[in-house]
Amino acid sequence: MKTQAPNTTDKQQRTRRRIRRLWVTFIALLATFVFLVIGIENGMVGYMPSLAELENPQNAISSEVLASDGTVLGRYFVLDRSNSKFSEISPNIINALLATEDVRFYDHAGIDPVATIAIPFYVLMNKKRGSSTITQQLAKNLFPREKKSMLTLPFMKLKEWVLAVKLERNLTKREIITLYLNTVPYSDNLYGIKNASLTFFNKTPDKVTVDEAAVLIGMLKGNTIYNPRTRPKKARARRNDVLNQMAKYDYITSAECEKLKAGETPLDYHKIDYHDGLAPYFRQVLEQYVKDACKDLKKSDGTPYDIYKDGLKIYTTIDMRMQRYAEEAVQEHLTNLQQQFLAQPGYVDGAVWKRKGATNTILMTAVKSSDRYQFLINQDKTEEDALKEMQKPIKMRVFAWNEKRYKDTVMSPFDSVKYMKLFLQAGLMSMDPFTGEVRAWVGGIDHKFFMYDHVNINTKRQVGSTIKPLLYSFAIDNGFSPCGIVSTAPQEFPDFLDHPYDAGGSDQGDIPLKTALAQSVNNAALYILKQVGIVPFVDFAQKCGISSRLDPVPAIALGAADISLYEMLGAYSMFPNGGMHTEPLFITKIEDKNGMLVKSFTARQKELINPNTAFKMVKMMRGVVNAGTGGRLRYRYGIHNDVAGKTGTTNNQADAWFMGYTPQLLTGVWVGCDDRVFRFRSEKLGQGAAAALPIWAFYMKRVYADAATGIDPKKTFEQPKGFDDCEAEPGFYDGSLKQPTEETIESVPHTQEEE
């Protein structure tokens, strides 16, 4: 019996239905894919950054600090990023990158079809191999993946593909590879090929050799694992892998490859940081101030502002010219003064370190606080072994007053502590006494080596006789006259001492109040304090903006209190400002990245003394400069403008001060060592007139010479209407007397100004 053949027509129909279903499925999948791509492209499936954000990611995260003229003074950021142009990058770096990451970079449009198709084969062969192109990696760097799971990973990958194609469509190949090298993370949390090459090899990217390029590109696979500073063996092995790839794709010859692999690639490590540029101490203080100011401010999404990520624009009052002149003035004076300081007995021969007591305590505290000592202790070294290790000479870089501001030398870490401790430090702050705007801020001699700021409100030093103008103004506002006679005899304070307090100057007898201030006679200040009362004066000083602790003791009149330079500037503002105290102001406003105001700042003002008293003090402090302890401004530094001021020196010359002002600008200067045990042995060199006043003079000479600063050298203090003053001796106030000579000024007794 014959078997019946299947119906041919039914077979054909079933086949056609299968084919239709396949096509429908294919078209549906293709349509879904297309719509998904379109949705991703237009930001319908999660956030899609704009091209501007992709090209300039650093502008969206770093906050800018702007000077008063709008120039960028500095930036705050989380990522230590730098940018380079393609022409500034060595072909060695480009070749190493292409050979290692994407050899077909110039042949694809963002997605490498060969590498993508090969993925399943590598999976089946259990081989780990990246298929992402440089463009895809760039997209991932610029647009980090959100919280991922097995479900969302395909969408994230698809987003990266879309971004890669978008980048290829809008940027050239050179722009893509440059942007990639500027945004990928290198070892030590560095971003940007310029930062990496400068940090690890102390050279710009255009000068990088083949093996150095291999080290830099090699660390991209794992910037911690292949860090050449901390893991040299692994970094070398990775370097050799990169060199092999470069030889494989004919960027170098096999012979060159083997030669480079056999050799070392020495590092010349210099960590790039934020110490460089103008006003580094100011930027350091400003950073914390802005962070505190933004704590309670919220963005539109309800989260607080982040100074390192939100692209804030911080407008400050710093004048770029004046800041530069201030830093130059500090350098000009201290370069020479430091030599004189170290030439003293005890310093030149190192004998100061052989003393027991405070000096030895300072040394051991500094040694045990050093990074190197802490590193040794963390390596399970005993204290004894760590100290022995600290005695061994090593190569190091230390501060020096030369053109580079450093020198490379060989010394033990122990000796380096001794060396650095003996440097004189300085603080300078300059402000407009009417608006409070701070124009210049120099917190030390070099921020890279000495980060401690000597200007801000938390840094206190004994102020010496610079406190006396506050006492004298309080007295005048309460009935004293500049021409009135005051005693210079030792004063009795029975509640504090069982004997008369003799702080110096009793040999001068009874003298006018203005003369006592000009010559900084201590016993006269004690006499005035006794008349006005210790507690009332302390209350007045606090109203002047001094928030530091002021003990109600007789020595308050001599400047025994520790007060910051910042506070002293605010207190002195009442003299040129007609009795109005003006709080220093160094920031005017903060804007967000879109230019919208976040917060504005204004200086607070209040009247402390009447205008007549303020002008009497101006005239008396002119006398300090014309015929008193500040006379060097005239006879040695040639400043004949209308200036008033006050010197200050503490016991054994541990602190030197000069507070001076013109009709438009108020500036204070402090000089001394961080540890008060180190000081000038000679009063002639260490007094305020010798150690601090010259910086003020060098600064003002530069300011006066530059009309763009707006400080008029011909401007004079304005006398208030109805001014009532005593009959002054001719020339004492206005400087019309014959200018004093060095002999006449140096004969003025400079008594110690601290208890």
DSSP line for 340-406: HHHTSTTTSSSGGGG--SHHHHHHHHHHHHSHHHHHHHHTT--HHHHHHHHTS-EEEEE--SSSSS-
Residue 26 CA, chain-centre distance (Å), reads: 61
Query: For 219, which DSSP code?
Result: G
Name the more confident of 620 and 53. Answer: 620
Total count of residues recorded for the chain: 755
8 Å CB contact between 622 and 587: no
8 Å CB contact between 575 and 644: yes
**CA 459 – CA 86 distance, rounded (Å):** 46
For residues 631-659, average pLDDT: 95
pLDDT confidence of residue 308: 84
For residues 268-280, average pLDDT: 77
**CA 68 – CA 279 distance, rounded (Å):** 13
Residue 260 CA, chain-centre distance (Å), reads: 41
144-162 in b/e form (b: 16+ CB < 10 A) is eeeeeeeeeeebbeebbbb
Torsion on CA atoms 369, 375, 376, 379, rounded to nearest 10 = 140
Query: For 740, which DSSP code?
Result: P
Q: Write out pLDDT tens, residues 572-603.
A: 999 999 999 999 999 999 999 888 999 999 99
Query: For 599, which DSSP code?
Result: E
pLDDT confidence of residue 161: 66
Name the more confident of 40 and 371. Answer: 371
- Cross-strand bridge partners of residue 582: 605
**CA 87 – CA 39 distance, rounded (Å):** 37
pLDDT confidence of residue 747: 42
**CA 688 – CA 440 distance, rounded (Å):** 20
**CA 138 – CA 53 distance, rounded (Å):** 13
pLDDT confidence of residue 730: 40
pLDDT at 447 over 90: yes
pLDDT at 560 over 70: yes
Reported as type and span, the H/E element at residue 430 is: strand 425-431
pLDDT at 240 over 80: yes
8 Å CB contact between 581 and 544: yes
Q: Write out pLDDT tens, residues 201-225.
A: 988 899 999 999 999 999 999 989 9
242-252 in b/e form (b: 16+ CB < 10 A) is bbbbbbeeebb
CATH top-level class of 83-262: mainly alpha
**Percent of the chain beyond pLDDT 90?**
61
8 Å CB contact between 724 and 623: no
pLDDT at 289 over 50: yes
**CA 191 – CA 193 distance, rounded (Å):** 7
Q: Give 416's pLDDT tier (boundaries 50, 70, 90).
A: very high
pLDDT confidence of residue 51: 60
Q: Write out pLDDT tens, residues 58-88.
A: 444 568 899 999 888 887 876 666 678 899 9
Q: Give 34's pLDDT tier (boundaries 50, 70, 90).
A: low
**CA 160 – CA 117 distance, rounded (Å):** 17
Q: Write out pLDDT tens, residues 710-734.
A: 999 999 999 998 887 775 444 444 4
Q: Give 664's pLDDT tier (boundaries 50, 70, 90).
A: very high
For residues 548-557, average pLDDT: 97
- Strand runs (DSSP E) across 90-236, as ranges? 185-186, 190-191
CATH fold, domain 425-746, is Beta-lactamase (3.40.710)
Q: Give 135's pLDDT tier (boundaries 50, 70, 90).
A: confident
Estimate the share of the chain in helix, then strand, then coil, as percent rounded to the nearest 5.
Answer: 45, 10, 40
Reported as type and span, the H/E element at residue 648 is: strand 644-649
pLDDT at 200 over 70: yes
Q: What average pLDDT does the structure give for the chain?
A: 86
Look at 41-50, 180-189, 467-476 and tell me which has the smallest mean pLDDT: 41-50
Torsion on CA atoms 566, 288, 549, 621, rounded to nearest 10 = 0
In which residue are the tokens 């013109």 written? 662
pLDDT at 549 over 90: yes
Q: Is 87 helix (H, G, I), strand (E, B) or coil?
A: helix
Look at 377-386, 397-406, 525-534 and tell me which has the smallest mean pLDDT: 377-386
pLDDT confidence of residue 678: 93
Q: Write out pLDDT tens, residues 43-63.
A: 545 555 566 665 555 444 568
Q: Give the torsion sign (CA, 479, 484, 485, 486).
A: positive
Look at 453-457, 504-508, 666-670, 744-748 and tell me which has the smallest mean pLDDT: 744-748
Look at 168-177, 271-280, 287-296, 693-702 and tell me which has the smallest mean pLDDT: 271-280
Name the more confident of 731 and 245. Answer: 245
pLDDT confidence of residue 428: 98
Phi, psi of 409 (to 5 degrees): -150, 180
Give the CA angle between residues 433, 434, 435 to the nearest 5°.
100
